[in-house]
Structure formats: structure tokens, C-alpha cells
Structure 1
Amino acid sequence: MNTTETTDPRTRVVQTADELFYARGVSTVTMDQLRDASGVSLKRLYSMFPSKEDVVVGVLERRRSIWTEGVESLIDAAPDARSKVLAVYDFLAAWFCDADFRGCVFVNTFAELGATSPRVAAVVREQKAAFQQRMAQLVTQLGGSELLAAQLAILAEGAQTTAAISGAPDAAAVARAAAETLISAEL
């Protein structure tokens, strides 16, 4: 999406920051660069986001929505409980094929700022906990245990990191196959 076409300045700033942070990392992007890329004056930028940390939180909230909408659309379309669990890995498989895929924005941001920004760390932890809870709900509907849910969540998280580092999108298929094995073994 071309962020300069977005009319709402706040949305434009968050979308632009998301693109810049994801491509370059949070620490390397300055507020001046964000101003230039978003077309929002520095004064307006700081009136909406008093600190860079506020921008980062806005980006993480945006990514939470994107993740949730994407995963839930595939879960909703799945015909049965087992397919709903495996839909998570299907979402990952499509995402890993994106030309600009650089891994999980939450993990990347936590790696950069988690030690110095308790607020950012909290947002990342909330997202990861929400994912684990959602996986637990899906596994419960399948008739599986809490342990299985935790194992499947770790597989998904590990696939994201592996795909980002290796540049190989097949990590989702490998994780999906492992998930199928774990599900079959338990049920």
C-alpha cells in the first residue's frame, strides 16, 4: 500500500513507520525520516505521537490487527476443528512467501527494544500470550491438551524465526507436518 495515499495523518504515520521499521529496524529510523516518508510535519507528528515509543506501540497495534484478521479469516474458513488448528500454519505459509517477509515484527521489535522499553515489551508479551491462548482454544475444540496447544504454538513461533533467518518459506510446511504428527499422536 502506498502510505502517501492515506488521508488520515495518524494512519499514514503508523503505516509508514511500519514499513520503515520492518524494512530497516526501529533503531535506524529517525523521526525526521518518518516525517519525510509520511509527509506529516514534525510538529504534527509529535502532537500525535509524543515519543518514538508511541509510534512503535502504534505499529505493534496495527500488526496485531493484521495478524488477527489474517489468521482468523483462515480459521473461520476451515471446515473442522483439526483444519482450524492447521490453518495457522497455512497463514504462515502464505506470509512467508511475501517478498518483504523479515520475520515476526513482535520478535524483531522485542529484540531491539524489549530490554529498554517495558511498554514495548508488554505489548509484545500481550500479543504472544494472545496467540498462545487462541491456539489453546483451537486445540481444546479439537479435544487436545494444554501441552499440545503449547507445543503447536512453539512450532508456529519457531517457523517464523526459521523462515526469517533462512529465507526459506518451507518452514511453515515443516511446522505444519510436525503439528499434524503431534495432533495424531495425541488424538
Structure 2
Amino acid sequence: MPPKPSVLAFDTSAAHCAAALLSGDQVTTRVDAMAKGQAEHLMPMLEEMLHAAGLDWADLDAIGVGIGPGNFTGIRIAVSAARGLALGLGKPAIGVNGFDARAFQEALPYSATIPAPRDQSYVQTFTDQGASAPEQTESPAGPQKPAADLIAAVAQIAAARLGTDTGRPAPLYIRSADAAPPRDPAPTILP
């Protein structure tokens, strides 16, 4: 692992496209608010960030990605982009969940909360002994850290995990999707 790795991290699990470029000790962040269209917006945004820093894809040591919890489709956009980039670049993709990003550099014990649908929240508590299992609660999430701080934490955590066996990034879902199969019968296919 390089002493000061270059890591490009991104997250689309909320109503934004967020990215951070960690290069040496410098972290540059960008958060573009958007309710939809993240899939089309993400790659040009990442290209712009690299170009502004005078870097190319080959200069990266790793890809960091926010794996949720959050918007079902948004999580899948970021995770699939990270896996594709890792495969194409031959670089590791490192998933970082939203709880770890929120708890980054916080004093323990710390309860990380993430807004959930229907005015509820997802909660995970961190102590000196480790972390509890994430769960969904009936209470709304409290004050949230800015998205720029969270994506910077994803980049820094990914850099710290570089060189360890993290496996491929995979979405973190606390509950199943709201989507339901159609009630109408499938059409008959004629021979």
C-alpha cells in the first residue's frame, strides 16, 4: 500500500451524487443535489474531479464507495459503478457503510443514525467493544452530518482499509425493498 494513497470515493444512496478525491493529505469533495439522474451524472462528475486535480484513472490506488443504507436504486448505482471501475482499472473497490462514515473520528460510545422512510431511522451503536447490529427504529433520525463530511470519511476509511481483504463492495440493506411484484398475470407468449 502506498504511504499516501489516491482514492476516489462516491456515494449515491441519498438525493445527491457525492464524491471525494483523497490525494496525499488533501481531500476534495463535491456534492451535487439531485432527486434522480445519478446514474447519468456520476461518471462525468468523477471525470471532472480527476481532471481538476490533474489526475487520471490510472493514478488511483483504490475506489471507495458508499454502500448504504439508503435509497435502494441509488445504492445499486454506486456499487455497480465501483465494481465496474475496479474491474476495468485493476484497482480494489472498497465499500464503506453509512454508519461507519458517520462514526468516523467520533468519541465512543457513538450512535450513528441514518434517515429511513416514513420518518423512521436506521441506528447502529459503536463502543470500545465493537458495534451493535444495525436496526430500524420508529423515531426520526437526529441532526445529520453534511454530505461533504460523510463522503470525505468514506474516502479516508477506504484508504485506511486499502491492503486488507474487504471483499467486493455489496449493498447494505436494513430492510427489504418496497417494490412488490405485479398483481397482473404475466402475458401469454405465443409460439
TM value normalised by structure 2:
0.26
TM-score (norm 1): 0.26
User: Higher strand share goes to which structure?
Assistant: 2
